[in-house]
Amino acid sequence: MTLYEFNALNEELQATVAMQGNFVDVRFEDNLRVALYSHQEFYAEVFYDGETNRIVRSRAFISAVPLAAYIQLN
């Protein structure tokens, strides 16, 4: 699947397909848990709200810039 095919899916299918990738890492943004998955042609993030026990959105990208959010410098 390409990034463009992923983006053409509805929100529910995007989250399902995103989680079929290889899990890479998790980070926290505001009150959401953001899981990163790698696919052959793109990365995908799934945003999960633990308070409501729901996936609230997902997104996919090919740029390395969003990956910086997963680097922890101590």
pLDDT tens, residue by residue, 24-73? 999 999 999 999 999 999 999 999 999 999 999 999 999 999 999 998 76
pLDDT of residue 61: 97
Residue 23's Cβ-side half-sphere holds a number of Cα atoms within 13 Å equal to 7
| pLDDT at site 2 | 95
Mean pLDDT value across residues 1-17: 96
56 conformational bin, left if phi > 0, alpha if psi -120 to 50, beta if neither? alpha
Is the confidence at residue 5, as pLDDT, over 90?
yes
Q: CATH assignment of 3-70?
A: 3.10.450
The arithmetic mean of pLDDT across residues 7-28, rounded, is 96
> How far is it between the farthest Cα atoms of the chain?
39
As a whole number of Å, the end-to-end CA separation of the chain is 36
